[in-house]
Structure 1
Amino acid sequence: MAKFSVFKDQESLFACPICQAPMHLDLSSLVCQNRHTFNIAKQGFVNFLRQTKGDKHYDMASFEKRSQILAAGYYDSILEVISERLRDLPGHSHVLDVACGEGYYSRQLAQEFDKDFMAFDLSKDSILLAARQNPQKNVAWFVGDLAQLPLRENSIDVILDIFSPANYQEFGRLLSDHGLIFKVIPHEDHLKEFRQLLPEAQAYSNQDVLEHFQESCDLLERVTIAKTWSMPSEHVQTFAEMTPLFFHANKETLDLTSVTQLTVAGELLIGRIRDDKQSWLFVNCSG
């Protein structure tokens, strides 16, 4: 079955999260030599976490809203730039989508590229939705923890980290010698129309995130991607319900009627873990 074959194709990349031993596909499960077993769900994903913590801001309803916005194409300009850069990397075969949410980017890219795509999130709801929306079963979806991923050292060629947290120590462990990080961070103009409704959020800078990236990585390329969209009121409302900007705002006092367009703006940072960081990371990861 297709949902098993994608894990069969990529079984050599997995490492047991309990004992770090290599894993292989055994019928409908990933199993290590110590018989730690993780079943592949009928929807086509693996849950490597023994227990998951819920978050009211990141439940199934919130991911469904994100799915609607992404499907409407508002983030396609970011997808297109990532796709262009991946075309320049024919030898980079193994791609990991970090904190992938409902999996939009991996699903789209897996249709275009003959590469092995893996994608994970801490949220089981998001991975369940991602797997359901991937009938081709060409992405290995799993629930995992960014602090300790069930993957072997030097197994990944490209890490996609799109509007998501980063763990550069873990990235350094996973990336191959020629591996790259594609990190997308919000630009200062991202959702500026919403920020104007929140006095405390009007001033935004991504400088801290950029500096953190450059502490661990050599910055090879930096691309600004921005587009302002005219938007129907129902999409404005859906955007407002999904964005972290409004997680702690009093939504009853927000007047969205004045918002008729939204700017989606990000910066793509392409980098490689610095040589001095690779040595430091190796020492720390090996104990």
Structure 2
Amino acid sequence: MTLHQLAGGLRCPFCFSPGGQSLPLSPTGSLTLGCEHGHRFDVNKRGYISLLPPRTRVVGDSADMLAARDRFFSTGAYDPIAAAVATAVRDAAPAAPARIAEIGCGTGFYLAAAAERLGSSDVLAADLSPAAVRIAVQRVPDAVGVVLDVWQPLPLADVSRDVLLSVFAPRNLPEFARVLDENGCLVAVVPTGTHLREAREAGLALDVPDGKADDLVTAADPWFAEVARTTVEFTMELDRDALSALLGMGPSAHHSRRDSEYPDGADAVRRVTASVTVLTLRRKR
């Protein structure tokens, strides 16, 4: 990964306004990117850069959550979801080498599967958590990493990506549309109402409302049109460690416990349903 590769498709997080002209970033030193107005950003030696706006108060996933995610993904339990994501990205990508980015990349598990299926070398991993971005760029060959806040104007250039991936992550739909090239696609994964049903019935996980996929399609309508939908549902047989990692890696970990704690009642849960919808939404012209 070179500085020129990292700078490609990035814009200064200070020098733009909604609907206004933005300034691209370019190498200004051995480990520095900057814009023509003099803003400078240090590049981590591990291959990523932080472009968070000033006074950002939100925080990303904790080290415990990321460690739990890595442990759970290593069991292979979510491999069917990763395979469905990779297929959706392949079908959404243009024939030429695709520029793919995952916004809310976590540890890069899904991005790695998609990039491998595509054979793409233009891959960007973005997350609010610097630790997550560090792990993702190590997992995905040739990926570049950006620390950003999805709820702020994204420090990504207009029409700079062919496919955006969002798996169990927040979505800034107008910004996603701006970043995507003409006919570009957003591949999004959302849980169905039966996802982790057994864990939720035992009081171990947060509730998942029905109809999240339809709600996303409705919310995205000003910028995107649905072109494909796949439901992936299967039963997982989880041991004590795998269940603890599953509960510790997701939003329930923010609300209920530390990853190191094994929750009361978990011994009664061994079979857990995974159920998600993989949506492909194409940018409207």
The TM-score bracket by the shorter chain reads: 0.7 to 0.9
SS at the partner of 1:166? coil
Letter in 2 for 1:183: A
For residue 74 of structure 1, the aligned residue among 67, 73, 77 is 77
Matched residues in 2 for 1:216 and 1:178: separation? 11
Q: Which residue of 2 aligns with 1:278?
A: none
Distance change >3 Å, CA 197–CA 152, structure 1 → 2: same
Deviates more, 1:228-237 or 1:29-38: 29-38
Q: Which residue of 1 aligns with 2:5?
A: 9
Letter in 2 for 1:71: S
Q: Which residue of 1 aligns with 2:172?
A: 167
Matched residues in 2 for 1:117 and 1:54: separation? 25
TM-score, normalization by structure 1: 0.83
Matched residues in 2 for 1:105 and 1:200: separation? 22
Matched residues in 2 for 1:209 and 1:231: separation? 30
Whether the 8 Å contact between 1:106 and 1:139 is mirrored in structure 2 is: no
For residue 108 of structure 2, the aligned residue among 100, 103, 111 is 103
TM-score, normalization by structure 2: 0.84
Quote how far apart the aligned CAs of 1:67 are: 1.4
Quote how far apart the aligned CAs of 1:253 are: 6.9
Quote how far apart the aligned CAs of 1:70 are: 1.7
Matched residues in 2 for 1:166 and 1:203: separation? 17
1:233-252 alignment runs, 5 A limit: 233-245=240-252, 247-249=254-256
1:11-50 alignment runs, 5 A limit: 11-19=7-15, 20-26=22-28, 27-49=30-52, 50=54
CA deviation digits over 1:230-276, x for unaligned, max 9? 1111111121222323543478873001111222221011012334x
1:118 aligns with 2:128: no
1:51-66 alignment runs, 5 A limit: 52-53=56-57, 55=59, 58-66=61-69
SS at the partner of 1:269? strand
Distance change >3 Å, CA 215–CA 73, structure 1 → 2: farther
Quote how far apart the aligned CAs of 1:177 are: 0.7
Quote how far apart the aligned CAs of 1:122 are: 1.1
Q: Which residue of 2 aligns with 1:281?
A: none
- Count of aligned residue pairs for this structure pair: 268
Whether the 8 Å contact between 1:54 and 1:123 is mirrored in structure 2 is: no
Q: Which residue of 2 aligns with 1:181?
A: 186
Matched residues in 1 for 2:56 and 2:219: separation? 28
Matched residues in 1 for 2:208 and 2:31: separation? 50
Q: CA RMSD in A?
A: 2.5
Matched residues in 1 for 2:41 and 2:139: separation? 22
Matched residues in 1 for 2:40 and 2:266: separation? 49
SS at the partner of 1:13? coil
SS at the partner of 2:209? coil
Quote how far apart the aligned CAs of 1:10 are: 5.0
Quote how far apart the aligned CAs of 1:221 are: 0.6
Matched residues in 2 for 1:170 and 1:45: separation? 21
Quote how far apart the aligned CAs of 1:202 are: 5.8
Distance change >3 Å, CA 39–CA 254, structure 1 → 2: same
Whether the 8 Å contact between 2:191 and 2:208 is mirrored in structure 1 is: no
Q: Percent identity?
A: 24
Unaligned runs of 5+ in 1: 276-287
Matched residues in 1 for 2:58 and 2:224: separation? 32
Unaligned runs of 5+ in 2: 16-21
Q: Which has the higher helix share?
A: 1
CA deviation digits over 1:66-95, x for unaligned, max 9? 111122222211221222233333336211
For residue 146 of structure 2, the aligned residue among 142, 145, 159 is 142
